[in-house]
Structure 1
Amino acid sequence: MRTTKTPNSRLAEWIARTGLSNAELARRVKAAAQQAGHPQVSPDATAVRRWCQGNQPRRPIPGIIADVISDALGYRVTSYELGLGDSPAEDRSLLYNRDWVVTVDTVSDLGRADVDRRRFLAAAPFAAVAATGPSRDWLLATLDQQPDPGPRVRLEDVTAVKNMFSEFQKIDIFQGGGSGRLVLAAYMNVHVYPLLRRPQADDVRRALCEAAAEQTYLLGWMAYDNGEHGTAQRYLIQSLRLAEESGNVPLGAHVLAGMADQATLLGHPEEGLRLAQSGRHGLRGASPAALADLWALEGRALAAMGVTSAATKAVAQSEAAAEQIRPDDEPEWALFIDPAYLHGEHAMTLRDVGDHAGAAEHAKLSIDHARRQQRARRGALSQAALASTHLQRRDLEQAHAAGLRTLSLAGKVKSSRAIEAVADLQKRMEPFGRHRLVADFTERARVLTAA
């Protein structure tokens, strides 16, 4: 007896909302699949018609369809909403769920998938539009769900979590995001995320959610620094939800700063600008360090967009906020927002808007502070910025010298951002052709990246 398939009316309705023809949707799905490393995924208009008739595409196609439709609409749509099955962990973790129990399940699943190094998570792409809902919901936050019953959590439990944050943050700052992240993820899975399921007094609950948000942010930041952008984005979105639950507005703004930094780095400066501005508007004057960071990242986004005047003004606003920073009054997660970091960010902003002298000045200040603190990653990024200002002035010898210092520092940390700074410097040297200094730097860089 022949079984009649049930048409997938939800998928057909969502496709209609995008205004895409079946052929165009198929073309975009194929292109996205190629970019994500799935060359075997090659649908045509007939395949799309069959999906709407009830044929269930195999993974990873449902997730790719969801990404393509989300991009077309400008907000996140999951494979579940498209009638293509339950959202897998990497899809669900892109959502900012109002239900607290679902949030705890989501972040726990994400942590387990990360520790297990499951292939689907490692290959998960960065979705530019995924942050639209979370940043909006953070500003309009309300909640009413309670965790599952169990032994009560004590403030002593929360203190232990916060003490561990301090140690893992030091690992990130001094050794790079590739060092210790999976150890942190395992710690969160065993010792922290289970606490979120247990009942707490209101003050303990806020403190626990704050500590969990800090650690989850750090997981995202470490993944970002290690070039695992899909994983990083998912951790950051869940960290934002945890920060909302804690009621800590500066911490939520800090998470948005990390999301803005990632979006701009990956070629989405308009999204980076919107995220930085959302964080700044929500901050409402609290935490000068967080404000200085958000202004700095707003400047980076504006520079990438080519909006020179506004980018320069953002740098000035960041400097003004930095003058109000009192380290003893700032939370521990803000300790890295210091002269080494801020001058380094300003150097890259001014470099990108063509202010060579200003960029060089900020780069040198950042380098000096980073050297005194023995922060190799920040030193590498700022040395690369300094080298690029020398290239803009056509001073290849000075650029080569700064480039060698970049290589030396980049070799001391496990950070894809440091390696990407080296690759960017190589690209900027290309106009100098086969000059011996270019050849020397290229060979040394090859040795580093191979190692």
Structure 2
Amino acid sequence: MKTPNSDLTQWLDRSGMSRKELARRVKAAAQTWGQPHITPDATTVRRWLEGDQPRPPVPEILADVFSASVGYRVTTYDLGFSESPAVDRALVYNSSFAVTVEAVADLGRADVDRRKFLAAAPFAAVAAIGPSRDWLLNTLDQQPPSGPRVRLEDVSAVRNMFGEFQRMDVLQGGGSGRLILAEYMNQHVFPLLRRTHTEDVRRALCEAAAEQTYLLGWMAYDNGEHGIAQRYLVQSLRLAEESRNAALGAHVLAGMADQATLLGNPEEGRRLAQAGRAGLGNSTSAACLADLWALEARALAKLGDKTAATRAVRQSEASFNRVRSEDEQEWAAFIDPAYLHGEHANTFRDLEQASTAEEHARQSIDHARKQRRARRGAMSQAALAVSHLQRRDLEAAHAAGLRTLSLSRQVKSSRCVEAVQDLQRRMKPFGRNRLVADFNERARDLVAAA
């Protein structure tokens, strides 16, 4: 027996629409969505009220219709429908700017209201294919709906907050402030995107929103919530395209490449890094280009292509030598020697070139220590420990492993925990050696808490 949808009934009463009028508006909205086959009538609406679950994208269209009626965002969750359609919509790189704004707003709200969200947001291995292609090919010129105009001062306020949240991520880990940032986006940034702007303000606002949406994705990625991260990154890429900032779009693709390689799909990681380079060119952002080459090297190392991976590291280093900090955007601040040497250390670790991995790891550790960046220091200490294990020097590996543990406890980052777990696996061939037992005992609380 079906359960009546009391939420939908309440929203229909609140809107003042009849069933016939709601059906008419859904039909009209479906036309703008490119779904002319969706033609509900009053009987269809009655069935929804009685508990029938409409097929996607009808729940999203209903949410848009009610949002327009009441003057603020209503989600599929509010209407009593499963969150899954809204979550899945965030994987779509939509040509409509208005639909993109609502998709990322729904995603942010679902992220804050986490009762069902995590289970509904799996990582989709092939979801990046369309977005990366469309980012390279699309040139869009759609205007936002009418409303009070946004000023450049509004955009500056958003940018100032980005810097604060980025520092929080770098120093404390992705698990520390993401939900605060998501709530800030829900309350202050997404509403601005729905208002009217001059063209220069519109692009600046989309750029600022793309930066913060990327940071939300990166924080989720660092905290091991890959389904959420992927959805934020797809929507960030779409907002970056709207801003006409090629370097920012390439930066988002770098994040997507990093995630794909980490989750066991280095071929996809390589392709995403190459797409970023193709869209970026050689002169827009030397820092972003260095990052893309570094991530391509990581993917190539996972694929076992020693020659290509080594060449990509050299390209990364050459690109970074051309960086002029005054020419780079704020989001590129993390692309520095601590980060790049850490990535190169992991590349040579995977190529089992222990000496070269150790050299890069030590340089990364030195820079991270000076900047008090515990997360980067922990991951580079782990790479150093692996280089010692590859040379069968368990005592040196144990010492580096303990430093990894100490730094990992200072941040909330699943990547640090995963680095510790990787060390535990790599120490297994040493059997019941007392140093292995000691490391496992010291790591137990950190791993158990994660």
TM range (shorter): 0.7 to 0.9
CA offsets 1:157-190 (integer angstroms, 9 cap, x no match): 0000000000000000000000110000000000
Aligned to 2:214: 217
Q: Distance in 2 between matches of 1:448 and 1:98?
A: 44
Stretch moving more, 309-318 or 123-132? 123-132
Q: Distance in 1 between matches of 2:194 and 2:84?
A: 22
Q: 2:402 aligns with which of 404, 409, 419?
A: 404
Q: How does 1:31-110 map to 2 (within 5 A)?
A: 88-110=85-107
Aligned to 1:256: 253
Question: How far off is 1:143 after superposition?
Answer: 1.3
Q: Secondary structure at the match of 1:109?
A: helix
Aligned to 1:314: 312
* Contact 1:122/1:231 (8 A) holds in 2: no
Q: How does 1:366-405 map to 2 (within 5 A)?
A: 366-405=364-403
Q: Distance in 1 between matches of 2:192 and 2:172?
A: 29
The answer to whether structure 1 residue 358 and structure 2 residue 356 are counterparts is yes
Q: Distance in 2 between matches of 1:345 and 1:248?
A: 25
Q: Distance in 2 between matches of 1:146 and 1:56?
A: 32
Q: Distance in 1 between matches of 2:187 and 2:53?
A: 36
Q: Distance in 2 between matches of 1:136 and 1:265?
A: 21
CA offsets 1:255-283 (integer angstroms, 9 cap, x no match): 00000000000001011000000001110
The answer to whether structure 1 residue 239 and structure 2 residue 236 are counterparts is yes
* Contact 1:252/1:279 (8 A) holds in 2: yes
Sequence identity (%) = 75
Q: Distance in 1 between matches of 2:338 and 2:207?
A: 26
Q: Secondary structure at the match of 1:170?
A: helix
Q: Distance in 2 between matches of 1:203 and 1:435?
A: 64
Decide whether aligned partners of structure 1 residues 337 and 198 sit closer, same or farther in structure 2, where only a CA change above 3 A counts: same
Question: How far off is 1:87 after superposition?
Answer: 6.4
The residue type equivalent to 1:143 in the other structure is L
Q: Which runs of 4+ in 1 moved over 4 A?
A: 55-59
The answer to whether structure 1 residue 187 and structure 2 residue 184 are counterparts is yes
Q: Give 5+ residue unaligned stretches, structure 1.
A: 1-54, 60-84
* Contact 2:83/2:117 (8 A) holds in 1: no
Aligned length, in residue pairs:
372
The answer to whether structure 1 residue 128 and structure 2 residue 125 are counterparts is yes
The answer to whether structure 1 residue 274 and structure 2 residue 278 are counterparts is no
Question: How far off is 1:86 after superposition?
Answer: 10
Question: How far off is 1:354 after superposition?
Answer: 1.6
Q: Secondary structure at the match of 1:128?
A: coil
Aligned to 1:167: 164
The residue type equivalent to 1:149 in the other structure is S
Q: Distance in 2 between matches of 1:403 and 1:96?
A: 42
* Contact 1:272/1:298 (8 A) holds in 2: yes
Decide whether aligned partners of structure 1 residues 221 and 122 sit closer, same or farther in structure 2, where only a CA change above 3 A counts: farther
Q: CA RMSD in A?
A: 1.7
* Contact 2:83/2:120 (8 A) holds in 1: no
TM-score if structure 2 supplies the norm length? Answer: 0.81
Question: How far off is 1:142 after superposition?
Answer: 1.5
Q: Give 5+ residue unaligned stretches, structure 2.
A: 1-51, 57-81
Aligned to 2:197: 200
The residue type equivalent to 1:241 in the other structure is R
Q: Distance in 2 between matches of 1:58 and 1:234?
A: 21
* Contact 1:289/1:334 (8 A) holds in 2: yes
The residue type equivalent to 1:365 in the other structure is Q
Q: How does 1:400-439 map to 2 (within 5 A)?
A: 400-439=398-437
Aligned to 2:25: none
Decide whether aligned partners of structure 1 residues 173 and 386 sit closer, same or farther in structure 2, where only a CA change above 3 A counts: same
TM-score if structure 1 supplies the norm length? Answer: 0.81
Q: 1:119 aligns with which of 116, 121, 127?
A: 116
Q: Distance in 2 between matches of 1:56 and 1:169?
A: 40
The residue type equivalent to 2:186 in the other structure is N
Aligned to 1:157: 154
The residue type equivalent to 2:125 in the other structure is A
Q: Distance in 2 between matches of 1:410 and 1:102?
A: 40
Aligned to 1:289: 287
The residue type equivalent to 2:159 in the other structure is K
Q: Distance in 1 between matches of 2:54 and 2:206?
A: 38
Q: Distance in 1 between matches of 2:271 and 2:151?
A: 38
Aligned to 1:6: none
Q: Distance in 2 between matches of 1:57 and 1:387?
A: 54
* Contact 1:178/1:225 (8 A) holds in 2: yes
Decide whether aligned partners of structure 1 residues 388 and 136 sit closer, same or farther in structure 2, where only a CA change above 3 A counts: same
* Contact 1:289/1:330 (8 A) holds in 2: yes
CA offsets 1:23-78 (integer angstroms, 9 cap, x no match): xxxxxxxxxxxxxxxxxxxxxxxxxxxxxxxx99999xxxxxxxxxxxxxxxxxxx
The residue type equivalent to 1:93 in the other structure is A
The residue type equivalent to 2:166 in the other structure is Q
Q: Distance in 2 between matches of 1:320 and 1:144?
A: 36
Q: 1:138 aligns with which of 132, 135, 158?
A: 135
Question: How far off is 1:121 after superposition?
Answer: 3.7
